[in-house]
Amino acid sequence: MRKIKITLRVLALLIFGLLFHYVLPQHDVVKITSTEIIRTDFSALNRIFYAQADSGATEQPTRDLRLINTQKQKTFLLGFIPRDVSTVMVYRNEDTGWIWPPYFKFDSSDLQAEAANLAKGDEWVVITHYGWRIRWASIYPNAIAVRTVPGPDVSIIPWFNIVFFVFLMVAILFIRAMWRQFRERSIDPLLDTAGHHVDEVQAGMAERKGRISRWLGTWRKKDNTRTPSE
Protein backbone atom coordinates (compact mmCIF):
# COMPACT_ATOMS: atom_id res chain seq x y z
CA MET A 1 0.00 0.00 0.00
CA ARG A 2 2.85 2.37 0.81
CA LYS A 3 4.49 1.73 -2.58
CA ILE A 4 1.18 2.48 -4.32
CA LYS A 5 0.88 5.81 -2.49
CA ILE A 6 4.47 6.75 -3.38
CA THR A 7 3.87 5.81 -7.03
CA LEU A 8 0.69 7.89 -7.20
CA ARG A 9 2.43 10.90 -5.65
CA VAL A 10 5.37 10.66 -8.05
CA LEU A 11 2.95 10.31 -10.98
CA ALA A 12 0.97 13.37 -9.83
CA LEU A 13 4.16 15.43 -9.44
CA LEU A 14 5.30 14.34 -12.90
CA ILE A 15 1.97 15.31 -14.50
CA PHE A 16 1.87 18.73 -12.81
CA GLY A 17 5.55 19.31 -13.62
CA LEU A 18 4.96 18.63 -17.32
CA LEU A 19 1.86 20.82 -17.29
CA PHE A 20 3.71 23.76 -15.72
CA HIS A 21 6.66 23.31 -18.08
CA TYR A 22 4.33 23.44 -21.07
CA VAL A 23 2.09 26.33 -19.94
CA LEU A 24 4.44 28.70 -18.09
CA PRO A 25 6.29 31.32 -20.18
CA GLN A 26 9.83 30.61 -21.36
CA HIS A 27 12.36 33.00 -22.89
CA ASP A 28 14.71 32.22 -25.76
CA VAL A 29 17.46 34.48 -27.14
CA VAL A 30 17.22 34.13 -30.91
CA LYS A 31 17.91 35.84 -34.20
CA ILE A 32 14.87 35.83 -36.50
CA THR A 33 15.84 34.58 -39.96
CA SER A 34 12.46 34.48 -41.74
CA THR A 35 8.70 34.16 -41.38
CA GLU A 36 6.24 32.07 -43.35
CA ILE A 37 2.65 30.84 -43.47
CA ILE A 38 1.90 27.18 -44.16
CA ARG A 39 -1.32 25.25 -44.62
CA THR A 40 -1.74 22.77 -41.77
CA ASP A 41 -3.94 19.70 -41.47
CA PHE A 42 -4.24 18.79 -37.81
CA SER A 43 -4.27 15.18 -36.64
CA ALA A 44 -5.69 13.61 -33.51
CA LEU A 45 -2.12 13.40 -32.18
CA ASN A 46 -1.09 17.05 -32.41
CA ARG A 47 -4.43 18.90 -32.40
CA ILE A 48 -4.44 19.41 -28.61
CA PHE A 49 -1.06 21.20 -28.81
CA TYR A 50 -2.42 23.98 -31.03
CA ALA A 51 -4.43 26.99 -29.96
CA GLN A 52 -7.80 27.88 -31.37
CA ALA A 53 -8.30 29.78 -34.59
CA ASP A 54 -7.59 33.51 -34.59
CA SER A 55 -10.16 35.72 -32.89
CA GLY A 56 -13.05 36.35 -35.26
CA ALA A 57 -12.27 33.29 -37.42
CA THR A 58 -14.14 29.99 -37.59
CA GLU A 59 -12.42 26.85 -36.35
CA GLN A 60 -11.65 24.47 -39.24
CA PRO A 61 -9.88 21.09 -39.45
CA THR A 62 -7.29 22.74 -41.71
CA ARG A 63 -6.07 26.35 -41.63
CA ASP A 64 -3.09 28.62 -42.20
CA LEU A 65 -0.36 28.55 -39.57
CA ARG A 66 2.08 31.42 -39.04
CA LEU A 67 5.66 30.35 -38.35
CA ILE A 68 8.69 32.29 -37.15
CA ASN A 69 12.04 30.74 -38.12
CA THR A 70 14.99 31.61 -35.88
CA GLN A 71 18.56 30.87 -34.93
CA LYS A 72 18.45 30.10 -31.22
CA GLN A 73 21.28 30.59 -28.75
CA LYS A 74 21.72 27.49 -26.59
CA THR A 75 21.92 27.89 -22.80
CA PHE A 76 22.63 26.08 -19.55
CA LEU A 77 20.43 25.96 -16.43
CA LEU A 78 17.09 26.78 -18.09
CA GLY A 79 18.39 29.84 -19.87
CA PHE A 80 20.45 31.47 -17.10
CA ILE A 81 23.88 30.76 -18.66
CA PRO A 82 24.29 31.35 -22.43
CA ARG A 83 26.51 29.14 -24.61
CA ASP A 84 28.53 29.87 -27.73
CA VAL A 85 26.51 27.31 -29.69
CA SER A 86 23.33 28.02 -31.64
CA THR A 87 20.67 25.88 -33.29
CA VAL A 88 17.53 26.43 -35.34
CA MET A 89 14.13 26.82 -33.70
CA VAL A 90 10.70 27.30 -35.26
CA TYR A 91 7.84 28.97 -33.38
CA ARG A 92 4.18 29.14 -34.31
CA ASN A 93 2.24 32.37 -33.91
CA GLU A 94 -1.38 31.83 -32.86
CA ASP A 95 -3.96 33.71 -30.81
CA THR A 96 -4.79 32.11 -27.49
CA GLY A 97 -8.00 34.11 -27.04
CA TRP A 98 -9.89 33.98 -23.76
CA ILE A 99 -9.55 30.27 -23.15
CA TRP A 100 -6.43 28.16 -22.48
CA PRO A 101 -3.67 28.89 -21.75
CA PRO A 102 -4.61 32.26 -20.22
CA TYR A 103 -2.24 34.55 -22.14
CA PHE A 104 -5.13 36.53 -23.73
CA LYS A 105 -3.18 36.92 -26.95
CA PHE A 106 -5.10 38.57 -29.80
CA ASP A 107 -2.28 40.22 -31.79
CA SER A 108 -0.72 37.35 -33.75
CA SER A 109 -0.93 39.36 -37.01
CA ASP A 110 0.92 42.29 -35.41
CA LEU A 111 3.51 39.95 -33.94
CA GLN A 112 4.04 38.34 -37.34
CA ALA A 113 4.61 41.74 -38.92
CA GLU A 114 7.07 42.68 -36.17
CA ALA A 115 8.94 39.39 -36.61
CA ALA A 116 9.08 39.90 -40.39
CA ASN A 117 10.54 43.35 -39.86
CA LEU A 118 13.16 42.02 -37.42
CA ALA A 119 14.12 39.29 -39.91
CA LYS A 120 15.41 42.01 -42.28
CA GLY A 121 18.08 43.08 -39.81
CA ASP A 122 20.74 41.34 -37.77
CA GLU A 123 19.35 41.94 -34.26
CA TRP A 124 19.13 39.49 -31.40
CA VAL A 125 15.73 39.28 -29.75
CA VAL A 126 14.05 37.52 -26.85
CA ILE A 127 11.01 35.47 -27.80
CA THR A 128 8.61 34.76 -24.95
CA HIS A 129 6.71 31.56 -25.65
CA TYR A 130 5.05 28.53 -24.15
CA GLY A 131 4.85 24.93 -25.34
CA TRP A 132 7.27 22.38 -26.74
CA ARG A 133 9.01 21.69 -30.04
CA ILE A 134 8.28 18.07 -30.99
CA ARG A 135 9.64 17.53 -34.48
CA TRP A 136 8.23 14.08 -35.22
CA ALA A 137 4.70 15.30 -34.42
CA SER A 138 5.04 18.75 -36.09
CA ILE A 139 4.42 20.59 -32.81
CA TYR A 140 5.81 24.08 -32.27
CA PRO A 141 5.99 26.39 -29.23
CA ASN A 142 3.67 29.39 -29.49
CA ALA A 143 5.38 32.80 -29.53
CA ILE A 144 3.75 35.36 -27.22
CA ALA A 145 6.00 38.43 -27.47
CA VAL A 146 9.22 39.64 -29.08
CA ARG A 147 11.68 42.27 -27.85
CA THR A 148 15.17 43.23 -28.94
CA VAL A 149 18.25 42.75 -26.72
CA PRO A 150 21.85 44.01 -27.02
CA GLY A 151 23.35 40.62 -27.86
CA PRO A 152 23.19 36.83 -27.50
CA ASP A 153 24.94 36.80 -24.10
CA VAL A 154 22.06 38.47 -22.26
CA SER A 155 20.68 36.66 -19.19
CA ILE A 156 16.92 36.51 -18.78
CA ILE A 157 15.49 36.12 -15.26
CA PRO A 158 12.02 34.46 -15.36
CA TRP A 159 10.40 36.72 -12.77
CA PHE A 160 6.87 35.57 -13.55
CA ASN A 161 7.75 31.92 -12.99
CA ILE A 162 9.59 32.75 -9.77
CA VAL A 163 6.64 34.73 -8.41
CA PHE A 164 4.23 32.01 -9.58
CA PHE A 165 6.04 29.21 -7.76
CA VAL A 166 6.48 31.31 -4.61
CA PHE A 167 2.75 32.07 -4.66
CA LEU A 168 2.00 28.39 -5.32
CA MET A 169 4.09 27.26 -2.33
CA VAL A 170 2.48 29.87 -0.06
CA ALA A 171 -0.98 28.81 -1.26
CA ILE A 172 -0.20 25.12 -0.65
CA LEU A 173 1.09 25.83 2.87
CA PHE A 174 -1.93 28.06 3.59
CA ILE A 175 -4.40 25.42 2.38
CA ARG A 176 -2.55 22.72 4.33
CA ALA A 177 -2.73 24.82 7.53
CA MET A 178 -6.46 25.49 6.98
CA TRP A 179 -7.09 21.79 6.39
CA ARG A 180 -5.23 20.84 9.60
CA GLN A 181 -7.25 23.36 11.61
CA PHE A 182 -10.49 22.16 10.04
CA ARG A 183 -9.57 18.56 10.80
CA GLU A 184 -8.62 19.34 14.41
CA ARG A 185 -11.76 21.41 15.05
CA SER A 186 -14.38 19.47 13.09
CA ILE A 187 -13.31 16.06 11.87
CA ASP A 188 -11.24 14.80 14.84
CA PRO A 189 -14.00 15.56 17.43
CA LEU A 190 -16.52 13.73 15.24
CA LEU A 191 -14.19 10.76 14.94
CA ASP A 192 -13.61 10.77 18.73
CA THR A 193 -17.35 10.91 19.35
CA ALA A 194 -17.95 8.11 16.89
CA GLY A 195 -15.18 6.10 18.54
CA HIS A 196 -16.77 6.59 21.98
CA HIS A 197 -20.13 5.46 20.59
CA VAL A 198 -18.53 2.38 19.09
CA ASP A 199 -16.81 1.60 22.41
CA GLU A 200 -20.11 2.03 24.28
CA VAL A 201 -21.94 -0.24 21.83
CA GLN A 202 -19.21 -2.88 22.11
CA ALA A 203 -19.27 -2.61 25.92
CA GLY A 204 -23.08 -2.96 25.93
CA MET A 205 -22.92 -5.99 23.67
CA ALA A 206 -20.24 -7.55 25.86
CA GLU A 207 -22.37 -6.93 28.94
CA ARG A 208 -25.45 -8.50 27.32
CA LYS A 209 -23.37 -11.42 26.17
CA GLY A 210 -22.10 -11.88 29.74
CA ARG A 211 -25.64 -11.82 31.11
CA ILE A 212 -26.77 -14.43 28.61
CA SER A 213 -23.74 -16.58 29.44
CA ARG A 214 -24.49 -16.33 33.17
CA TRP A 215 -28.16 -17.15 32.56
CA LEU A 216 -27.20 -20.21 30.51
CA GLY A 217 -24.77 -21.15 33.26
CA THR A 218 -27.58 -21.26 35.82
CA TRP A 219 -29.55 -23.67 33.64
CA ARG A 220 -26.51 -25.92 33.26
CA LYS A 221 -26.15 -26.04 37.07
CA LYS A 222 -29.84 -27.00 37.44
CA ASP A 223 -29.41 -29.81 34.91
CA ASN A 224 -26.35 -31.09 36.74
CA THR A 225 -28.20 -31.17 40.10
CA ARG A 226 -31.15 -33.08 38.66
CA THR A 227 -29.13 -35.87 37.05
CA PRO A 228 -28.25 -37.92 40.24
CA SER A 229 -31.84 -38.07 41.56
CA GLU A 230 -33.11 -39.40 38.29
pLDDT in tens, 177-218: 888 888 777 776 776 776 666 666 666 676 666 666 666 666
Domain co-membership, 202 together with 103: no
Higher pLDDT, 21 or 85: 21
The number of folded domains in the chain is 2
pTM of the model: 0.75
Q: Tell me: the pLDDT tens digits for 8-17?
A: 889 999 999 9
- Asked, for residue 138, whether it belongs to a domain, the answer is yes
Give the highest mean pLDDT range of 41-45, 55-59, 65-69. Answer: 65-69
DSSP string computed for the chain:
-HHHHHHHHHHHHHHHHHHHHHHS-EEEEEEEEEEEEEEEE--TTTGGGS--PPTTSPP-SEEEEEEEEEEEEEEEGGGTEEEEEEEEEEEE----TTSSSTT----HHHHHHHHHHHHTS--EEEEEEES--BGGGTB-PEEEEEEEES-TT-----HHHHHHHHHHHHHHHHHHHHHHHHIIIIIHHHHHHHHHHHHHHHHHHHHHHHHHHHHHHHHHHHHHHHTTT-
Domain co-membership, 104 together with 59: yes
Q: Which domain holds residue 121?
A: 16-156
